[in-house]
């Protein structure tokens, strides 16, 4: 996600780490690890949107879906 920076004409880019399942772990263990990972990603996103509310417009449809 890119957010406006205090300096004019610059942006700050935030990214989350890539989730990589452990090939040695069970499916259940990988799913639990994935849930924890993606909850962290959502927490980061929520914090950024709360700080910069207009970023939310990147996540809602601006036009109705075509039939």
Does the model's pTM come out above 0.95? Answer: no
State mean pLDDT over 3-21. 82
pLDDT digits (tens, 9 = 90+) for 17-50: 899 999 999 999 999 999 999 999 999 888 988 8
Q: Is the pLDDT of residue 2 over 90?
A: no
CB 3 within 8 A of CB 57: no
Q: What is the pLDDT of residue 27?
A: 97
Supply the pLDDT for residue 5: 72
């Amino acid at each position: 996600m890119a957010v406006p920076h205090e300096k004019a004409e610059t942006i700050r880019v935030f990214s989350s780490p890539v989730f990589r399942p452990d090939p040695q772990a069970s499916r259940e263990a990988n799913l639990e690890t994935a849930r924890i990972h993606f909850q962290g990603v959502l927490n980061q996103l929520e914090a950024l949107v709360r700080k910069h509310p207009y970023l939310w417009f990147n996540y809602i449809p601006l036009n109705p879906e075509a039939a």
